[in-house]
Structure 1
Amino acid sequence: MRAPLGHFDNAVPAPDRLDLLTPPVADAVRAWQGDVPAEQLVYVDTDPAIADTAVFAEHYGTELLDQSANCVVVAGKRGGETTLAACVVLSRTRVDVNGAVRRQLGARKASFASMDTAVGETGMEYGGITPIGLPANWPLLIDSAVLDTEWILIGSGSRRGKLIVPGKSLASLPGAVILAGLGI
Protein backbone atom coordinates (compact mmCIF):
# COMPACT_ATOMS: atom_id res chain seq x y z
CA MET A 1 0.00 0.00 0.00
CA ARG A 2 1.18 3.51 -0.77
CA ALA A 3 0.66 6.18 1.89
CA PRO A 4 -1.74 8.94 0.75
CA LEU A 5 0.89 11.53 1.71
CA GLY A 6 4.56 11.73 2.66
CA HIS A 7 7.46 9.48 1.69
CA PHE A 8 7.04 6.34 3.77
CA ASP A 9 8.58 2.96 3.00
CA ASN A 10 5.81 1.02 4.67
CA ALA A 11 2.15 1.91 4.97
CA VAL A 12 -0.57 -0.55 5.94
CA PRO A 13 -4.21 -0.30 7.01
CA ALA A 14 -4.18 0.37 10.77
CA PRO A 15 -6.41 -2.69 11.50
CA ASP A 16 -3.56 -4.84 10.11
CA ARG A 17 -1.02 -3.46 12.63
CA LEU A 18 -2.89 -3.41 15.93
CA ASP A 19 0.23 -4.98 17.44
CA LEU A 20 2.13 -1.71 16.93
CA LEU A 21 -0.57 0.51 18.46
CA THR A 22 -0.95 1.26 22.15
CA PRO A 23 -3.87 -0.63 23.75
CA PRO A 24 -6.38 2.27 23.77
CA VAL A 25 -5.64 3.11 20.12
CA ALA A 26 -5.78 -0.55 19.05
CA ASP A 27 -9.12 -0.94 20.86
CA ALA A 28 -10.51 2.17 19.13
CA VAL A 29 -9.39 0.97 15.69
CA ARG A 30 -10.81 -2.49 16.38
CA ALA A 31 -14.19 -0.97 17.36
CA TRP A 32 -14.14 1.74 14.64
CA GLN A 33 -17.62 2.77 13.45
CA GLY A 34 -17.01 6.08 11.74
CA ASP A 35 -18.28 7.16 8.31
CA VAL A 36 -14.85 6.28 6.91
CA PRO A 37 -14.00 2.54 6.86
CA ALA A 38 -11.28 1.49 9.32
CA GLU A 39 -9.15 0.28 6.39
CA GLN A 40 -8.74 3.94 5.37
CA LEU A 41 -6.89 4.60 8.62
CA VAL A 42 -3.28 4.09 7.53
CA TYR A 43 -0.43 3.17 9.86
CA VAL A 44 3.11 4.14 8.87
CA ASP A 45 6.06 2.80 10.83
CA THR A 46 8.49 5.61 11.63
CA ASP A 47 11.64 6.28 13.62
CA PRO A 48 10.73 7.37 17.18
CA ALA A 49 13.93 9.42 17.42
CA ILE A 50 12.52 11.89 14.87
CA ALA A 51 8.89 12.01 16.01
CA ASP A 52 8.78 15.78 16.54
CA THR A 53 6.98 17.51 13.67
CA ALA A 54 9.73 19.67 12.10
CA VAL A 55 12.42 16.96 12.10
CA PHE A 56 9.87 14.37 11.05
CA ALA A 57 8.83 16.48 8.02
CA GLU A 58 12.45 16.99 6.97
CA HIS A 59 12.85 13.21 6.78
CA TYR A 60 9.45 12.06 5.46
CA GLY A 61 8.36 15.04 3.33
CA THR A 62 8.08 18.79 3.94
CA GLU A 63 4.49 18.78 2.64
CA LEU A 64 3.63 17.05 5.92
CA LEU A 65 3.97 20.39 7.72
CA ASP A 66 0.68 21.44 6.13
CA GLN A 67 -0.98 18.05 6.59
CA SER A 68 -0.07 17.23 10.18
CA ALA A 69 -2.11 17.76 13.30
CA ASN A 70 -1.11 17.77 16.94
CA CYS A 71 -3.23 16.40 19.74
CA VAL A 72 -2.63 17.90 23.18
CA VAL A 73 -4.25 17.28 26.55
CA VAL A 74 -5.53 20.29 28.47
CA ALA A 75 -6.94 20.78 31.93
CA GLY A 76 -9.75 23.26 32.60
CA LYS A 77 -10.32 24.32 36.21
CA ARG A 78 -13.32 25.90 37.85
CA GLY A 79 -14.30 25.86 41.52
CA GLY A 80 -11.89 23.09 42.50
CA GLU A 81 -13.04 20.82 39.64
CA THR A 82 -10.70 19.84 36.82
CA THR A 83 -11.92 18.79 33.38
CA LEU A 84 -9.50 17.04 31.06
CA ALA A 85 -9.96 17.45 27.33
CA ALA A 86 -7.98 16.92 24.17
CA CYS A 87 -7.43 19.47 21.43
CA VAL A 88 -6.51 18.76 17.81
CA VAL A 89 -5.08 21.54 15.67
CA LEU A 90 -2.96 21.70 12.55
CA SER A 91 0.71 21.51 13.48
CA ARG A 92 1.47 24.94 12.02
CA THR A 93 -0.86 26.49 14.62
CA ARG A 94 -1.07 26.44 18.40
CA VAL A 95 -4.05 25.71 20.62
CA ASP A 96 -5.91 28.80 21.88
CA VAL A 97 -5.92 27.51 25.46
CA ASN A 98 -6.74 30.79 27.20
CA GLY A 99 -9.51 31.72 24.76
CA ALA A 100 -11.37 29.01 22.82
CA VAL A 101 -10.52 26.11 25.16
CA ARG A 102 -11.30 27.96 28.38
CA ARG A 103 -14.64 29.19 27.00
CA GLN A 104 -15.65 25.79 25.59
CA LEU A 105 -14.88 24.03 28.88
CA GLY A 106 -16.55 26.74 30.95
CA ALA A 107 -13.33 26.98 32.95
CA ARG A 108 -11.95 29.87 34.90
CA LYS A 109 -8.44 28.73 34.04
CA ALA A 110 -7.12 26.35 31.38
CA SER A 111 -3.62 25.04 30.78
CA PHE A 112 -1.78 22.16 29.19
CA ALA A 113 -1.99 19.06 31.36
CA SER A 114 1.24 17.81 32.87
CA MET A 115 3.09 15.07 31.02
CA ASP A 116 2.34 12.61 33.83
CA THR A 117 -1.37 13.40 33.66
CA ALA A 118 -1.50 13.24 29.85
CA VAL A 119 0.31 9.90 29.71
CA GLY A 120 -1.43 8.39 32.74
CA GLU A 121 -4.95 9.32 31.66
CA THR A 122 -4.60 8.41 27.97
CA GLY A 123 -2.44 5.27 28.15
CA MET A 124 -0.38 6.76 25.30
CA GLU A 125 3.20 7.99 25.04
CA TYR A 126 4.01 11.66 25.35
CA GLY A 127 4.74 12.98 21.87
CA GLY A 128 2.46 10.40 20.26
CA ILE A 129 -0.94 11.21 21.78
CA THR A 130 -3.69 10.84 19.21
CA PRO A 131 -7.42 11.65 19.21
CA ILE A 132 -8.19 8.02 18.33
CA GLY A 133 -8.54 6.04 21.55
CA LEU A 134 -8.91 8.86 24.06
CA PRO A 135 -11.25 8.39 27.03
CA ALA A 136 -14.80 8.53 25.60
CA ASN A 137 -16.03 10.90 28.33
CA TRP A 138 -13.52 13.63 27.45
CA PRO A 139 -14.40 16.59 25.29
CA LEU A 140 -12.40 16.30 22.06
CA LEU A 141 -12.02 19.80 20.64
CA ILE A 142 -11.07 19.76 16.96
CA ASP A 143 -10.20 22.82 14.89
CA SER A 144 -12.43 22.89 11.80
CA ALA A 145 -9.33 23.33 9.59
CA VAL A 146 -8.28 19.77 10.54
CA LEU A 147 -11.53 18.38 9.13
CA ASP A 148 -11.07 20.41 5.96
CA THR A 149 -7.73 18.70 5.28
CA GLU A 150 -8.17 15.72 2.94
CA TRP A 151 -5.54 13.53 4.65
CA ILE A 152 -4.06 14.32 8.04
CA LEU A 153 -1.01 12.87 9.77
CA ILE A 154 -1.54 12.33 13.50
CA GLY A 155 0.09 10.36 16.30
CA SER A 156 -0.45 6.64 16.74
CA GLY A 157 -0.40 6.58 20.53
CA SER A 158 3.36 6.07 20.65
CA ARG A 159 6.37 7.95 19.32
CA ARG A 160 6.98 5.07 16.92
CA GLY A 161 4.59 5.24 14.00
CA LYS A 162 1.95 7.66 12.82
CA LEU A 163 -1.58 7.41 11.50
CA ILE A 164 -2.72 9.01 8.26
CA VAL A 165 -6.48 9.47 8.24
CA PRO A 166 -9.06 11.46 6.28
CA GLY A 167 -9.45 14.73 8.20
CA LYS A 168 -13.24 14.38 8.20
CA SER A 169 -12.97 11.01 9.99
CA LEU A 170 -12.08 12.73 13.27
CA ALA A 171 -15.54 14.33 13.49
CA SER A 172 -17.09 10.95 14.35
CA LEU A 173 -14.85 10.30 17.37
CA PRO A 174 -16.45 10.20 20.84
CA GLY A 175 -16.85 13.64 22.41
CA ALA A 176 -15.89 15.50 19.20
CA VAL A 177 -16.70 19.21 19.21
CA ILE A 178 -15.72 21.14 16.09
CA LEU A 179 -14.50 24.68 16.69
CA ALA A 180 -13.39 27.29 14.17
CA GLY A 181 -10.40 29.20 15.50
CA LEU A 182 -9.22 26.59 18.03
CA GLY A 183 -5.81 26.73 16.36
CA ILE A 184 -4.31 30.20 16.19
Structure 2
Amino acid sequence: MRFGTLDWSPALDHPHLLAAPVRQALEAWAKNSPDAVGQVLVAPIDPDQADTADMTATYELPLEASANCVLVAGKRNGEERLAAAIVRATTRADVNSTIKKLLDVRKASFLPTDRAVTDAGMEYGGITPIGLPGQYRVLLDTRTTASPAIIGSGIRGSKILLPGEVLAELPGSEIVEGLAKE
Protein backbone atom coordinates (compact mmCIF):
# COMPACT_ATOMS: atom_id res chain seq x y z
CA MET A 1 0.00 0.00 0.00
CA ARG A 2 1.20 3.50 -0.76
CA PHE A 3 0.64 6.39 1.64
CA GLY A 4 2.54 9.59 1.04
CA THR A 5 5.61 8.59 -0.96
CA LEU A 6 6.20 5.46 1.15
CA ASP A 7 5.34 1.86 0.35
CA TRP A 8 3.89 0.13 3.43
CA SER A 9 3.93 -3.63 4.03
CA PRO A 10 2.71 -5.92 6.84
CA ALA A 11 4.94 -5.24 9.84
CA LEU A 12 5.54 -8.86 10.82
CA ASP A 13 6.79 -9.60 7.29
CA HIS A 14 9.69 -7.19 7.99
CA PRO A 15 10.94 -7.88 11.54
CA HIS A 16 14.24 -6.12 10.76
CA LEU A 17 12.26 -2.86 10.63
CA LEU A 18 11.01 -3.30 14.21
CA ALA A 19 12.72 -3.00 17.58
CA ALA A 20 12.74 -6.33 19.41
CA PRO A 21 10.07 -5.35 21.98
CA VAL A 22 7.78 -4.13 19.19
CA ARG A 23 8.18 -7.32 17.17
CA GLN A 24 7.58 -9.47 20.25
CA ALA A 25 4.47 -7.50 21.21
CA LEU A 26 3.06 -7.74 17.67
CA GLU A 27 3.70 -11.50 17.60
CA ALA A 28 1.92 -11.94 20.95
CA TRP A 29 -0.98 -9.70 19.88
CA ALA A 30 -1.30 -11.63 16.59
CA LYS A 31 -2.10 -14.84 18.51
CA ASN A 32 -5.35 -13.29 19.75
CA SER A 33 -6.06 -10.72 17.04
CA PRO A 34 -4.48 -11.81 13.74
CA ASP A 35 -6.83 -9.63 11.67
CA ALA A 36 -5.91 -6.51 13.66
CA VAL A 37 -2.16 -7.16 13.51
CA GLY A 38 -2.44 -7.90 9.79
CA GLN A 39 -3.41 -4.22 9.37
CA VAL A 40 -0.25 -2.99 11.12
CA LEU A 41 2.07 -1.85 8.33
CA VAL A 42 5.69 -0.70 8.30
CA ALA A 43 7.82 1.32 5.90
CA PRO A 44 11.55 2.04 5.98
CA ILE A 45 12.60 5.67 6.27
CA ASP A 46 15.84 7.59 6.48
CA PRO A 47 16.75 7.60 10.21
CA ASP A 48 17.80 11.24 9.86
CA GLN A 49 14.20 12.04 8.89
CA ALA A 50 12.52 10.24 11.83
CA ASP A 51 11.41 13.37 13.67
CA THR A 52 7.77 14.12 12.89
CA ALA A 53 8.16 17.43 11.04
CA ASP A 54 11.02 16.14 8.89
CA MET A 55 9.29 12.82 8.17
CA THR A 56 5.98 14.34 7.12
CA ALA A 57 7.67 16.87 4.84
CA THR A 58 10.15 14.41 3.32
CA TYR A 59 7.61 11.66 2.62
CA GLU A 60 4.62 13.90 1.79
CA LEU A 61 2.57 12.63 4.71
CA PRO A 62 -0.18 14.66 6.38
CA LEU A 63 0.99 15.96 9.75
CA GLU A 64 -2.38 15.07 11.29
CA ALA A 65 -1.75 11.37 10.47
CA SER A 66 1.26 11.27 12.80
CA ALA A 67 0.77 10.26 16.41
CA ASN A 68 3.54 10.91 18.90
CA CYS A 69 4.22 8.74 21.94
CA VAL A 70 5.58 10.54 24.99
CA LEU A 71 6.55 8.84 28.24
CA VAL A 72 5.47 10.52 31.46
CA ALA A 73 6.09 9.84 35.15
CA GLY A 74 4.86 11.06 38.49
CA LYS A 75 5.03 9.89 42.11
CA ARG A 76 2.44 9.33 44.79
CA ASN A 77 3.38 8.11 48.28
CA GLY A 78 6.84 7.15 47.02
CA GLU A 79 5.38 5.02 44.21
CA GLU A 80 6.36 5.95 40.65
CA ARG A 81 3.50 5.93 38.17
CA LEU A 82 4.28 5.75 34.46
CA ALA A 83 2.28 6.35 31.31
CA ALA A 84 2.74 6.55 27.57
CA ALA A 85 0.56 9.27 26.06
CA ILE A 86 -0.22 8.92 22.37
CA VAL A 87 -1.45 12.13 20.76
CA ARG A 88 -1.73 13.49 17.23
CA ALA A 89 1.26 15.55 16.09
CA THR A 90 -1.07 18.52 15.64
CA THR A 91 -1.80 18.48 19.40
CA ARG A 92 0.19 18.26 22.62
CA ALA A 93 -0.25 15.96 25.59
CA ASP A 94 -2.06 17.59 28.52
CA VAL A 95 0.53 16.53 31.10
CA ASN A 96 -0.26 19.16 33.75
CA SER A 97 -3.96 18.40 34.01
CA THR A 98 -5.42 15.29 32.35
CA ILE A 99 -2.39 12.98 32.66
CA LYS A 100 -1.62 14.20 36.18
CA LYS A 101 -5.20 13.35 37.23
CA LEU A 102 -5.16 9.97 35.49
CA LEU A 103 -1.93 9.01 37.26
CA ASP A 104 -3.24 10.49 40.53
CA VAL A 105 0.01 12.36 41.16
CA ARG A 106 0.81 15.90 42.26
CA LYS A 107 3.18 16.52 39.37
CA ALA A 108 3.69 14.66 36.09
CA SER A 109 6.74 15.20 33.89
CA PHE A 110 8.13 13.91 30.63
CA LEU A 111 10.77 11.25 31.20
CA PRO A 112 14.32 12.32 30.39
CA THR A 113 15.44 10.97 27.01
CA ASP A 114 18.00 8.53 28.45
CA ARG A 115 15.45 7.01 30.80
CA ALA A 116 12.76 6.81 28.09
CA VAL A 117 15.11 4.98 25.72
CA THR A 118 16.33 2.60 28.43
CA ASP A 119 12.86 1.82 29.76
CA ALA A 120 11.32 1.31 26.33
CA GLY A 121 14.20 -0.63 24.81
CA MET A 122 13.67 1.55 21.75
CA GLU A 123 15.49 4.35 19.96
CA TYR A 124 14.70 8.00 20.62
CA GLY A 125 12.49 9.17 17.77
CA GLY A 126 11.02 5.68 17.39
CA ILE A 127 9.35 5.10 20.76
CA THR A 128 5.93 3.57 20.29
CA PRO A 129 3.16 2.26 22.53
CA ILE A 130 3.54 -1.22 21.04
CA GLY A 131 5.92 -3.25 23.19
CA LEU A 132 6.32 -0.92 26.17
CA PRO A 133 7.00 -2.57 29.54
CA GLY A 134 3.90 -3.56 31.51
CA GLN A 135 4.30 -0.89 34.18
CA TYR A 136 3.31 1.76 31.61
CA ARG A 137 -0.32 2.76 31.22
CA VAL A 138 -0.97 3.30 27.51
CA LEU A 139 -3.20 6.35 27.10
CA LEU A 140 -4.61 7.12 23.65
CA ASP A 141 -6.18 10.47 22.87
CA THR A 142 -9.54 9.84 21.18
CA ARG A 143 -8.28 11.62 18.05
CA THR A 144 -5.67 8.88 17.52
CA THR A 145 -8.38 6.24 17.16
CA ALA A 146 -10.48 7.89 14.44
CA SER A 147 -8.27 7.68 11.35
CA PRO A 148 -4.96 6.15 10.24
CA ALA A 149 -2.06 6.76 12.60
CA ILE A 150 1.66 6.80 11.89
CA ILE A 151 3.62 5.81 14.99
CA GLY A 152 7.14 4.74 15.82
CA SER A 153 8.46 1.24 15.20
CA GLY A 154 10.99 1.28 18.02
CA ILE A 155 13.79 2.29 15.65
CA ARG A 156 14.47 5.51 13.77
CA GLY A 157 14.76 3.71 10.43
CA SER A 158 11.06 2.94 9.97
CA LYS A 159 7.53 3.94 10.92
CA ILE A 160 4.33 1.99 11.53
CA LEU A 161 1.00 2.84 9.93
CA LEU A 162 -2.22 1.39 11.29
CA PRO A 163 -5.90 2.24 11.34
CA GLY A 164 -6.93 4.25 14.40
CA GLU A 165 -9.48 1.61 15.35
CA VAL A 166 -6.69 -1.01 15.41
CA LEU A 167 -4.55 1.27 17.58
CA ALA A 168 -7.56 1.43 19.95
CA GLU A 169 -7.44 -2.39 20.18
CA LEU A 170 -3.82 -2.37 21.38
CA PRO A 171 -3.80 -4.64 24.45
CA GLY A 172 -3.93 -2.64 27.66
CA SER A 173 -4.66 0.69 26.00
CA GLU A 174 -7.05 3.26 27.46
CA ILE A 175 -8.87 5.75 25.27
CA VAL A 176 -8.99 9.15 26.94
CA GLU A 177 -11.10 12.13 25.90
CA GLY A 178 -9.08 15.34 26.31
CA LEU A 179 -5.68 13.67 26.66
CA ALA A 180 -4.34 16.27 24.23
CA LYS A 181 -4.81 19.97 23.67
CA GLU A 182 -4.81 21.79 20.34
User: Which runs of no fewer than 5 residues in structure 1 stay unpaired?
Assistant: none
- Identity among equivalent positions (%) equals 45
Q: Report how many aligned residue pairs link the two structures.
A: 179
Given that residues 78 and 109 in structure 1 are in contact (C-alpha distance below 8 angstroms), is that contact kept between their aligned partners in structure 2?
no
User: Which runs of no fewer than 5 residues in structure 2 stay unpaired?
Assistant: none
Cross-structure match for 2:82: 84
Aligned partners of 2:43 and 2:174: how far apart in 1?
A: 27
Aligned partners of 1:20 and 1:164: how far apart in 2?
A: 13
C-alpha RMSD of the superposition: 1.4
Q: Secondary structure at the match of 1:159?
A: coil
TM-score by length of 2: 0.93
Among 105, 112, 120, the alignment partner of 2:118 is 120
What residue identity is the alignment partner of 1:12?
Answer: S
1:90-101 equivalence runs, <5 A = 90-101=88-99
Given that residues 137 and 175 in structure 1 are in contact (C-alpha distance below 8 angstroms), is that contact kept between their aligned partners in structure 2?
no
- Aligned-pair distance for 1:31? 1.5
- Aligned-pair distance for 1:39? 1.9
Cross-structure match for 1:67: 65
TM-score by length of 1: 0.92
Indicate yes or no: 2:172 matched with 1:178.
Answer: no
Cross-structure match for 1:140: 138
1:1-184 equivalence runs, <5 A = 2-3=1-2, 5-8=3-6, 10-32=7-29, 33-34=32-33, 36-63=35-62, 65-149=63-147, 151-184=148-181
